[in-house]
Amino acid sequence: LSALRRAIAGEYTKDGLDTREEHVLVTNGAQQAIALCAALCVQRGDTVLVEDPTYFGALEVCRTFGARLATLPVQAEGVTPETLRERLTATGARLIYLTPTFQNPTGSVMPETSRREVGAIALATGIPIIDDRATADLVIEGRPPAAIAALAPGAPIFTIGSLSKLVWPGLRVGWIRASEPLIQRLARAKTAIDLGSPTLTQAIGARLVAAIPEARRLRQRELKPRRDLLTTLLRAELPDWQFVVPTGGLFLWAKLPRADAREYAQLAFRHGIVTLPGSTMSAVEDHASHLRLPFFAEPDTLRAGVNRLAAAWRAYRGRTRERAKAVAIV
């Protein structure tokens, strides 16, 4: 729908990324956007560079396309350009997938200087980057830097967005912003799959995109107290867990001392709480001592959740002490 693409283009242009309707393809959520980019760039056996940890939906896409996955460690300020350059040379990757704004799951934000360098790498090598901004609207503090494409004109960059996090995932309205020739190829790939996104949801989307600035403010008002509540509860009830307070996004990335988060998550399930261990978000099953903790739930749910996490942690600790004793007897 032209009205939706125009509205999306208008939002990007307002944010400093000059965009016309011809640069936008509407997709069924950011998930389909990732899949279409992979369909365009990846042949079976090709290497894709992904952050470690990263959004597991992207790992699923890459695996489905038969890609090999090579990892880029996520630091406090996201992936560094030096690492990207080195890994790109070492692996000969055909595609790079990044979530540089409130990274899922760590919440880290790549600074502007790194974004410029990363964009320059894509321009120099011709290897495309997916800049997945599905969580970029969830600002709690400060103002995140611009999309990579805005800092690297002419670089092969797929900028992905979605209404899922601001409005509702059930709507399935997402999009890709790229150069016109790339959009034309992506549009052909999408037509082969589903002939196009439903006109009804696109019409709703067109109205909602116009309300994005207001939706950002509402989400911020909701997310800030919830993030603060979760951090306060964790510090009080699980003081040995370590985490960096994220400035946006939906998750807190917690490190559990001397623990296997997979074992702990199973125990926590028996205490009535579902948590995701870090290894599920790693292409190489790393981050075994991390948990991803969402803070978007209602305050009462967060309170009940941390209570259960703490009860499960006491049980887990008791169990590991028992185990340590048993080893001592042997």
Ligand X SMILES: Cc1ncc(COP(=O)(O)O)c(C=O)c1O
174-177/129-132 β-pairing: unpaired
**DSSP strand pairing (276-277 vs 174-177):** unpaired
| # residues near ligand X by CB under 6 A | 14
Residue nearest to ligand X (CB): 29
By CB under 6 A, the residues from 42 to 61 that bind ligand X are 55, 57
Q: Applying CB under 6 A, does 30 fall inside the site for ligand X?
A: yes
- Residue 138 lies near ligand X (rule: CB under 6 A): no
Residue among 107 and 233 whose Cβ is closer to ligand X: 107
User: Is 88 or 176 the residue whose CB approaches ligand X more closely?
Assistant: 176
Query: Sign (positive/negative) of CA torsion 129, 27, 296, 13?
Result: positive
Is 131 within 8 Å of 157 (Cβ atoms)? yes
Tell me, what amino acid is at 116? R
DSSP, residue by residue, 183-240: HHHHHHHHHHHHSS--HHHHHHHHHHHHTHHHHHHHHHHHHHHHHHHHHHHHHHH-TT
* Contact indicator for 291, 276 with CB cutoff of 8 Å: yes
Q: Of the candidates 162, 202, 279, 282, which one interacts with ligand X according to CB under 6 A?
A: 162
Query: In whole angstroms, how close is the CB of 162 to ligand X at the nearest point?
Result: 3
Which region among 24-32, 38-46, 65-73, 179-187 touches ligand X (by CB under 6 A)? Answer: 24-32
Residue 55 vs 243, nearer CB to ligand X: 55
Closest to ligand X by CB, 10 vs 294, is 294
| CA–CA–CA angle 312, 314, 315 (5° rounding) | 65
Q: Are 230 and 302 spatial neighbours (Cβ–Cβ below 8 Å)?
A: yes
Single out the segment in contact with ligand X by CB under 6 A; choices: 7-15, 25-33, 120-128, 221-229: 25-33
Q: Are 177 and 17 in contact (CB under 8 A)?
A: yes
Q: Give yes or no for a contact between 96 and 128, defined as CB atoms under 8 angstroms apart.
A: yes
Of 88, 134, 167, 182, which lies in the binding site for ligand X, with binding defined by CB under 6 A? 134
Burial 31-68 (b: 16+ CB within 10 A, else e): bbbbbbbbbbbbeeebbbbbbbbbbbbbbebbeebebb
Site for ligand X in 163-182 (CB under 6 A): 164, 169, 174
d(CA 3, CA 246): 35
Point out which span in 26-34, 90-98, 176-184, 222-230 binds ligand X (CB under 6 A).
26-34
Binding to ligand X (CB under 6 A) within 272-311 occurs at none
Query: Least CB distance from residue 33 to ligand X, whole Å?
Result: 7
Residues within window 68-87 making contact with ligand X, judged by CB under 6 A: none
Q: Which of 19, 71, 101, 135 is the binder for ligand X (CB under 6 A)?
A: 135
* CB closer to ligand X, 115 vs 308: 115
Bridge partners, 132 (sequence order): 160
Closer to ligand X at the Cβ: 25 or 312? Answer: 25
Q: Please give the residues from 86 up to 125 whose contact with ligand X meets the rule CB under 6 A.
A: 99, 104
Considering beta carbons, is residue 102 or 316 the nearer one to ligand X? Answer: 102
Q: Among residues 71 and 135, whose Cβ is nearest to ligand X? A: 135
Q: Name the segment binding ligand X (CB under 6 A); options: 62-70, 80-88, 161-169, 289-297.
A: 161-169
DSSP 326: H
The window from 86-94, 130-138, 227-235, 296-304 that contacts ligand X (CB under 6 A) reads 130-138
**Angle, helices 29-41/56-64, rounded to nearest 10 degrees:** 40
Residue numbers of the site for ligand X (CB under 6 A)? Answer: 29-31, 55, 57, 99, 104, 132, 134-135, 162, 164, 169, 174
